Amino acid sequence: MKKDKNYIDLGERGKYNPNNKLNDLTGKEWIKFTKSWFIHRPPRRKEDEILHPAKFPETLVGEFIKFFTKKNQWVLDPFLGTGSTLISCIENNRNGIGIELNKKYFVTAAKRIERLQKELKSDLKIKLYNSNSNDLPKLLAEFPPIDYCITSPPYWNQLERNSIRQSERKKKNLDTKYSSSEDDLGNCKDYYEFIEKLCRIFDKVFFVMKEGGYLTIIVNNIYFESKLYPLAFDVAIALTKRSEQSWVMKDEKIWLQDDKSLIALGVNSAWVGNRHHQYCLIFRKETK
């Protein structure tokens, strides 16, 4: 490690500026992440991860966590699923808090986290709640302000609809909905009511977030009953119009899913796309 005037030379990684306020990346790594799209081919999912119908890869979350936080800072995921965000926190030396409504996913997440912490002899502070994210301010009352939130919420009723992929899961006896709980946002019947309920949870994330902290929501537009619901766009618009003090939208990054197989949809009849990308919407808390 060589020090020149203001930078620390980290060899292949590039040069790190000790005045970097946001993360522990070098200039070279920082610039690489700012491209508006990326292709991410996740490693094959393990047995206990297949249980969850819509898990995002730890490796992908890791890239975001490394950009939006420094070591030992606090990361939150209010829709934890089987724990990807917290696994990624442990792998990248961040403290983390996760909230998951469904007991089965919560238990899987807890087991995966315990196993990894033992394996890595990690003493990071990792906290999981089997709870409704509406209770977030109460659950997080004793914690320091959150540095970064990354999450992927239910995509409205997307899991329940009878898509080809969901029929495949049904055949294998795998979950095709998260739960039957009324608190589960995936069970909300009305699209606009769903958006409002989702925004109310992000209002609560806003409340526990530090000034200048970022929020990344991984979400997509969805197709239901022969019509596109622009869920990603509607969430972006709704969240930035909550009140005078709401999230400021900064950008989107598009995750290109180049590893999904094409399905014959609407062939010889009408346009139905194979949607092989997701939106990673980036917001910031800026009240001053």
Catalog residues that contact ligand SAM under the rule CB under 6 A. 52, 54-56, 79, 81-82, 84, 99-102, 105, 132-133, 152-154, 178-179, 183-186
User: Is residue 215 within 8 Å of residue 204, measured between CB atoms?
Assistant: no
Residue number with CB closer to ligand SAM (52 or 94): 52
Q: How far is the CB of 48 from ligand SAM (least distance, A)?
A: 11
Q: How far is the CB of 144 from ligand SAM (least distance, A)?
A: 22
Q: How far is the CB of 45 from ligand SAM (least distance, A)?
A: 10
Grouping H, G, I as helix, E, B as strand and the rest as coil, residue 104 is: helix
Q: How far is the CB of 85 from ligand SAM (least distance, A)?
A: 7
Residue number with CB closer to ligand SAM (25 or 83): 83
Query: How do 277-284 and 37-39 pair as beta strands?
Result: unpaired
Residue number with CB closer to ligand SAM (26 or 204): 204
Cα–Cα–Cα angle for 118, 119, 121, rounded to 5 degrees: 60
At 281, list the tokens: 């919407």
Q: How far is the CB of 272 from ligand SAM (least distance, A)?
A: 23
Cα separation, 219 vs 277, in Å, equals 10
Q: Which of 168, 259, 75 is nearest to 278 (CA)?
A: 259
Grouping H, G, I as helix, E, B as strand and the rest as coil, residue 147 is: strand
Amino acid letter for position 217: I
At 29, list the tokens: 């790594």
Residue number with CB closer to ligand SAM (25 or 116): 116
Beta bridge partners of 129: 99
Residue number with CB closer to ligand SAM (26 or 78): 78
